[in-house]
Structures are given as C-alpha cells and as structure tokens.
C-alpha cells in the first residue's frame, strides 16, 4: 500500500477551499442531511498520501489538498514525489529536523517520517485528544515521531532549531458566506476556524518562527489568502519560494 505514489490522483490545482470542502464533505444532494456523519468518521479512517489514517470527530478528516504540503517538503528534500518528476537540488540537510504544527490525525508528520526516514519529526497540537489519535496512527504506521501539546511553538524547546515547519492550521474565516458550514459541523471547530480573516494563527506562527530564525515554512491556506500571507511574511523576513496548490513554501532570509 505504501509503495503507491500518492498524487497519481493528480496534483490539486488552484481550486478553492469551497470546492474541496464540498468534495470531501457530505452534501445535502448526496446525503439525506448534513446531520449525516461524514463517511470517514463512519469508517474510522481516511486515505492520505496512499496510507490509511484513523480518524474520529476529535480530528479533522485529512483533505487531498494537504498532500501538497508533502510534495512541497519532498521537493525541498530533493526527492521526486511522482515517477518522472525531476528532483530539484536538495535544500534541506540529509537528516532534517521538522516540526508539524497542528498535527491533528498526524497525517503530515507521519507521512513525512515514512517518506524521509532519516528526518527527526516533532508533531504538536493544542488538543490532547487529537494528539492521542496522532500517536495511534504513528504506532499503526511504525513511524517514530515526538508529540508535544502546545499552542503553536510555545512548548517546543528552542533547540535544536528545526530546519522546517509544516502547518495546516485552522484558516477558515467564519464570515465566508460561500461556505456551507453545516457540511463541516461534525469536525472540531478548533481545527477549522481562525480570527483575522482566517489568518490569526498562521501570522502568529510566522512571527514565532522568525524569532527562532527557522529557515523553511510550508503552510497551507486557501489560495484567496496567499497574497496576504506573503505580504505578512515579508515583514518577518520570509520570502516566497514556491506555491503549490494550497501550499506556500517560504524561506527566511537569514
């Protein structure tokens, strides 16, 4: 199963959160009502990058667009993520230290450990229940990751300085009237919504990362938020190096 390369399904072009959420969530036209538990919660698992992850209503159901974070990290690691894709020169050290912030089910952290076995991977979340699911998934996949309960980087030691941070933090703005919020009603609000047009946590993380001079950030956000993030990141000395679908790769100019 793990040998199956993930994004044979195709990289997810610049479609919006709306399209993705509607694709991955039950909609009234396909289900009797939004009271229906999403299929992933009914089954108890969801595929992510070719592996099954245990999911419960304590964690967000992994979305296909989040696989773009993995592709972005593999690109930095100089590893081809699809057959035939030419690897780019490696920008990360051979044994990188990576912190996944807001790990939820652990899908990003665990996938990175499987794809880059020599990496040291930390996974944080503010939700203890989410971390318990991440730990179960890590055990199932035989992936050794270190979990830390933390608001962003707060409880993460200053050293070693990680080479890279990945984060799919909550970025849905409660005022997005085009979003069918009832379709998200079974997922934890803590995993979905953020203040300041959905950017409050992402901005805080950029600021914290700049203080620690962390070189690379790979962040997920809706494409409609990308320009605001790039502009904010500049004030913290981060420059955009790549956009891949929902994933922004930023590099600190230190």
Ligand X SMILES: C[S@@+](CC[C@H](N)C(=O)[O-])C[C@H]1O[C@@H](n2cnc3c(N)ncnc32)[C@H](O)[C@@H]1O
Site of interaction with ligand X (CB under 6 A): 59-60, 62, 66, 101-105, 107-108, 124-127, 130, 151-152, 168-170, 190-191, 201
Q: Is the Cβ of residue 6 or residue 62 nearer to ligand X in the bound state?
A: 62
Q: What is the closest distance, in whole angstroms, from the C-beta atom of residue 153 to ligand X in the complex?
A: 9
Q: What is the closest distance, in whole angstroms, from the C-beta atom of residue 84 to ligand X in the complex?
A: 27
Q: Is the Cβ of residue 75 or residue 166 nearer to ligand X in the bound state?
A: 166
Q: Is the Cβ of residue 163 or residue 220 nearer to ligand X in the bound state?
A: 220
Query: 164 and 76 in contact (C-beta within 8 Å)?
Result: yes
Q: What is the closest distance, in whole angstroms, from the C-beta atom of residue 26 to ligand X in the complex?
A: 18
Q: What is the closest distance, in whole angstroms, from the C-beta atom of residue 244 to ligand X in the complex?
A: 15
Structure-derived torsion over alpha carbons of residues 114, 108, 28, 34, reported in degrees to the nearest 10: 110
Q: Is the Cβ of residue 85 or residue 190 nearer to ligand X in the bound state?
A: 190
Query: 242 and 72 in contact (C-beta within 8 Å)?
Result: yes
């Amino acid at each position: 199963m793990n040998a199956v390369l993930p994004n044979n399904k195709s990289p997810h072009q610049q479609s919006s959160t709306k399209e993705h959420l509607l694709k991955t969530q039950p909609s009234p036209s396909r289900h009797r009502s939004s009271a229906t538990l999403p299929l992933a919660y009914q089954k108890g698992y969801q595929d992510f990058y070719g592996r099954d992850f245990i999911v419960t209503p304590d964690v967000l159901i992994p979305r296909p667009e989040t696989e773009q974070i993995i592709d972005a990290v593999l690109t930095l690691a100089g590893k081809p993520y699809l057959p035939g894709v030419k690897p780019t020169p490696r920008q990360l050290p051979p044994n990188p230290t990576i912190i996944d912030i807001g790990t939820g089910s652990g899908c990003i952290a665990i996938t990175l450990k499987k794809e880059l076995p020599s990496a040291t991977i930390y996974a944080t979340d503010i939700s203890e229940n989410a971390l318990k699911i991440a730990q179960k998934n890590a055990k199932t996949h035989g992936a050794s990751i270190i979990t830390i309960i933390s608001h962003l980087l707060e409880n993460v030691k200053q050293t070693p300085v990680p080479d890279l941070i990945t984060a799919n933090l909550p970025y849905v703005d409660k005022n997005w009237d085009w979003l069918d919020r009832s379709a998200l009603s079974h997922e934890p609000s803590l995993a979905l919504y953020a203040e300041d047009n959905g950017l409050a946590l992402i901005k805080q993380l950029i600021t914290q990362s700049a203080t620690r001079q962390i070189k690379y950030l790979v962040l997920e956000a809706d494409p409609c938020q990308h320009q605001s993030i790039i502009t904010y990141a500049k004030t913290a000395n981060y420059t955009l190096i790549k956009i891949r679908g929902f994933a922004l790769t930023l590099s600190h100019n230190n």
